[in-house]
Amino acid sequence: MPAPAAPAILARGPWPAEAVRARWSEDHFDPPADRAAAADAAIAALRDRGSPSHDGLAARLAGFTQGDGRLVLELQPMRWALRLVAGDASCSLAALCVTRRADGAWLAGRRAAWLSSWPGRWALGAGGAVDVGESPAHTLSRELEEEWALRPEAVSIEALVRLPHRLAMLIGQAWLAEGAEEALEMDSEHDAFAWWPPDPAQWPAEADEPLRRTARLLGG
């Protein structure tokens, strides 16, 4: 298994959502046997602790190009559970929709203890795997509506990043219309939420350094 790569910004926007395109390959990613076995073990561990052990297909980032104001993502189907492999997520692609209130406050939610990734930790906005055949730009708005019942007034795509364990992440920033936050409904993937101040320097102690780095990336 290769050593974890350093965190990296692969491409930097912003781009409007319509300028981010996905080209899907029909060829599924075939992981090495050790990573497939590790994914099996991760799913079994979820089942043993009573967490939903669903598996299926999601997106893998196979490559990308940027230019002429566009970002084109080369994607292929891969087994969802490969993102759970410690140290090497095989370039699984996730989408993170950082969400801002009209006054600039940041939506933060504490992830439920039963989740497979980052349980009990605070996160910004909404996020999740990209479905096969889906545009990752659409994933951002879909996850925001599924997790918080919110529809943004505007969404921009800010960056494509790679985390140390080789998880690729498309980061978008959604802005709500004035008063739109009143429609918020928290889903079962969270057990608490808060609106953190526009200035990250005023965030509470539970806002860890990765969240603050994300805010700085987005100009917060």
Q: What is the pLDDT of residue 1?
A: 30
Cβ atoms of 15 and 156 within 8 Å: the answer is yes
User: Residue 194: pLDDT above 90?
Assistant: yes
Q: What is the pLDDT of residue 7?
A: 64
Domains defined for the chain, CATH in brackets: 8-217 (3.90.79.10)
Q: What is the pLDDT of residue 3?
A: 38
Residue 22, burial from CB neighbour count under 10 angstroms (0-12, 13-18, 19+): buried
Q: What is the pLDDT of residue 53?
A: 63
Q: What single-letter amino acid sits at 91?
A: C
Share the mean pLDDT of the chain. Answer: 92
pLDDT of 3-54, one tens digit each? 334 468 999 999 999 999 999 999 999 999 999 999 999 989 888 877 766 7
Q: Which residues of 101-126 are buried (b: 16+ CB within 10 A; e: fewer)?
A: beeebbbbbbbeeebbeeeeebbbbb
pLDDT of 127-178, one tens digit each? 999 999 999 999 999 999 999 999 999 999 999 999 999 999 999 999 999 9
